[in-house]
Structure 1
Amino acid sequence: MQYLEVNVKTAIIVHGYDENHKEITETVNEEQYVTKLVAIERLQSVSEQYLLVTGSHGRMMYWEYDESIDSIRQKLEKVGVRVA
């Protein structure tokens, strides 16, 4: 299994969907970034502001990160993830 080291803080947790297919979300206001080793397989999407990752019990989480998207791209490419 491959890992990505990144400094993150949880911004939004998606707990699922309601009967109208609207996301049930929880906004989290963490103040400090925490260094995590994240399994590459958990990454769903990378934007300028967030990493979208899978969590337990079918949850999805939006994590803010404190570096550039280019830095994330370079880290992914370094471990062999193809980024087009």
Structure 2
Amino acid sequence: MFIEIAVGSHQILHGFDEENKEVIEDVKVSSFSTKLIEVGRIKSISEKYILTDYGYGRWIYWEYEGSMAELKARLQMNNLVL
């Protein structure tokens, strides 16, 4: 199942360096764009970010348009959150 979300700037967590510090790539964009995200890839949702998994063991923190309450309600309508 997929959910349509307007996402913007994001951070890609590529892994960890030899000192066990996160290797993060910041990607800044000027506007939001619509994506279809497979619900099973969503790991957590906060007021500002959606954390999803990505290829090759990476993670992405997406900024998204709207509120956490709105997103939660959309997921609840489809019985995807308790």
In the superposition, the TM-score normalised over structure 2's length comes to 0.92
Report the residue type matching 2:70 in the other structure. Answer: S
| 1:78 counterpart letter in structure 2 | M
Work out the CA distance in 2 between the residues paired with 1:11 and 1:55: 12
Cα RMSD (Å): 1.0
Partner of 1:65: 64
Q: Is the 8 A contact 2:72 2:81 kept in 1?
A: no
Q: State the TM-score, normalized to the length of structure 1.
A: 0.90
Contact map agreement 1:10 1:61 (CA 8 A) in 2: no
Tell me what 1:82 maps to. Answer: 81
**Structure 1 spans left out of the alignment, 5+ residues:** none
Off by >6 Å, runs of 4+ in structure 1: none
Specify the alignment match of 2:18 in structure 1: 19
Question: 2:9·2:28 contact (CA, 8 Å) conserved in 1?
Answer: yes
2-structure distance, mates of 1:23, 1:80: 34
* 1:46/1:52 contact within 8 Å kept: yes
Alignment gaps of 5+ in structure 2: none
